[in-house]
Amino acid sequence: MAIDGPDLTRQSAATLADAISSGEVSAEEVTRAHLDRIDSVDGAVHAFLHVDRDAALATARAVDAKRSSGAALGPLAGVPIAVKDVLTMAGLPTTCGSRVLEGWRPPYDSTVVERLRAADMVILGKTNMDEFAMGSSTEHSAYGPTRNPWDLERIPGGSGGGSAAALAAFEAPLAIGTDTGGSIRQPAAVTGTVGVKPTYGGVSRYGLVALASSLDQAGPCARSVGDSALLHATIAGHDPRDSTSIDAPVPDVVAAAALGDVRGMRIGLVRELSGEGYQSGVQQLFQRAVEILTNLGADVVEVGCPNFEYALAAYYLILPSEASSNLARFDGMRYGLRVGDDGQASVEDVMSLTREQGFGAEVKRRIMLGTYALSSGYYDAYYGQAQKVRTLIARDFANAFEKVDVLVSPTAPTTAFKIGEKVDDPIAMYLNDIATIPVNLAGNCAMSLPIGLALEDGLPVGLQIMAPALADDRLYRVGSALEQALVDAWGHLLIEEVPSL
């Protein structure tokens, strides 16, 4: 059956790519449908900070011309995509959700954006985020919160809530996020979408405005495991401009997603990532998903990772410490906001005023924590000790992966909470990432995929799959098998149940 009009925004990325390649629809038609959808619903959702309408349509027309000429098209040519506003795009605003970068238009593309362009994908614009990726709710954006399409009174997760909400609102079929402690996976969990944190170094960080350099990782966001695999393959691979980029073959994630078979695989339940503090509806759906994996032929066992209980404390010393160093560059001298430069003020006064007005409360909090942790006399007691805990967590993973192929847990302890409910309680907010943080500390890879709606509130719940470094394909093998089993039971992807806006 032909697809057209509004139906175009509800198709998978793979379906759209095939339809464009065959000439069933044009890339311009697909792009216009998504731009119209953004015009229709983004006033309520606020997923986007900047929509690049003219450039998106120009790219779409170029793809159509390329197809008409008989030139070969890539797997995702002509497919629209949204990009988190922490990745640079030449000539387009990059704010990182902060006033301190207001008006800055970078002169270069990030490697991820370069690869999207090389794949002839249509970049719709930049999505909202917690300021400098510091947050779990996208309430800390200087440009206002993003809302969850499942319930506009609730958060879409963070820090990449804009990218996840754009998917859930059918404003884009694909998106790019970044994950420092769960900022791809937790938004995916609470919006009923799929999000993958690749192996650290598996996707280039060149042009990704740094929060915590040893933790940050860009990755794919989608509405299905198969679509995520196609995007993952597009953006992954070695980049000599990133010193942390891994010079090794990219695991064949597309083939793994197509396989979708867990027979004979060993799956570990992390004892420390369930139980107290987890919403009952989250636990119920997680247990059901584990039963499904067992029925599909996986060997499921419980695994202990005793040092995971210290991950949150270690993370909130390491991240602020690296952030305080990385954010020192935003001083009002070179780019972005400049306050108090009246010709009379000293350089120190301009820097102080710019940072005072340019940074939000959460960013200031973490800069101060990090500066203290790195200060003379406290470095060994705080930052040094946190790095030792990080090593113990990596050893826990290594020991676990000697026994099992992947680990699983709930992605987030609760479903989406209401906007404003936790914004004044930093500790409660930080606990949202309790299950996702260990992966970032160890540099491994992980996926979140939707497993149902919690009985008590009817909101999405996500399951997290964790695999060793450079074993990203295992995520897609397990995720695809579980997704297909759930689709067979439901008759559709969970995202199809999102309320119409």
Residue pLDDT, tens place only, 207-238: 999 999 999 999 999 999 999 999 999 999 99
CB 228 within 8 A of CB 449: no
Rounded to 5 degrees, what are φ and ψ at 132? 50, 30
Tokens of 359: 């940074």
Does any domain span residue 322?
Answer: no
Number of folded domains that form the chain: 1
Maximal C-alpha separation, the chain: 73
The residue with tokens 């793994």 is 256
Amino acid symbol at 136? S
* pLDDT, average across residues 11-40: 97
- Torsion sign (Cα): 351, 356, 357, 358: positive
Reply yes or no on whether 159 is catalytic. yes
* Strand 299-303 relative to strand 406-410, pairing: unpaired
The residue with tokens 């805990």 is 389
Residues pairing with 191 in the sheet: none
Identified catalytic residue from 26, 110, 163, 183: 183
pLDDT of residue 273: 94
Reply yes or no on whether 388 is catalytic. no
Identified catalytic residue from 12, 110, 136, 159: 159
Does any domain span residue 335?
Answer: no
Does residue 4 surpass a pLDDT of 60?
no
* 485 vs 493: CA distance, rounded Å: 10
CB 173 within 8 A of CB 223: yes
Does any domain span residue 245?
Answer: yes
Domain of residue 61, residue span: 5-306+394-497
pTM above 0.85, yes or no: yes
* pLDDT, average across residues 332-339: 85
* 280 vs 302: CA distance, rounded Å: 20
pLDDT tens, position by position, 286-305: 999 999 999 999 999 999 99
3-state SS class at 174: strand
Reply yes or no on whether 352 is catalytic. no
Does any domain span residue 334?
Answer: no
CATH of the domain at 443: 3.90.1300.10
pLDDT tens, position by position, 403-455: 999 999 999 999 999 999 999 999 999 999 999 999 999 999 999 999 999 99
- Listed range (157-161, 178-182, 369-373, 492-496) with the worst mean pLDDT: 369-373
pLDDT tens, position by position, 163-205: 999 999 999 999 999 999 999 999 999 999 999 999 999 999 9
3-state SS class at 62: helix
Does any domain span residue 380?
Answer: no
Percent of residues, the chain, with pLDDT higher than 90: 89
Does any domain span residue 333?
Answer: no
CB 382 within 8 A of CB 320: no
Amino acid symbol at 70? G
Confidence of residue 116 (pLDDT cuts 50, 70, 90): very high
- Listed range (3-7, 85-89, 458-462) with the worst mean pLDDT: 3-7
pLDDT tens, position by position, 59-79: 999 999 999 999 989 999 999
Rounded to 5 degrees, what are φ and ψ at 374? -95, -5
Does any domain span residue 213?
Answer: yes
CB 262 within 8 A of CB 481: yes
Confidence of residue 2 (pLDDT cuts 50, 70, 90): low
pLDDT of residue 334: 82
pLDDT tens, position by position, 251-281: 999 999 999 999 999 999 999 998 788 999 9
Does residue 1 surpass a pLDDT of 50?
no
CA atoms within 13 A on the CB side of 277: 15
Does any domain span residue 45?
Answer: yes
Tokens of 80: 């629209």
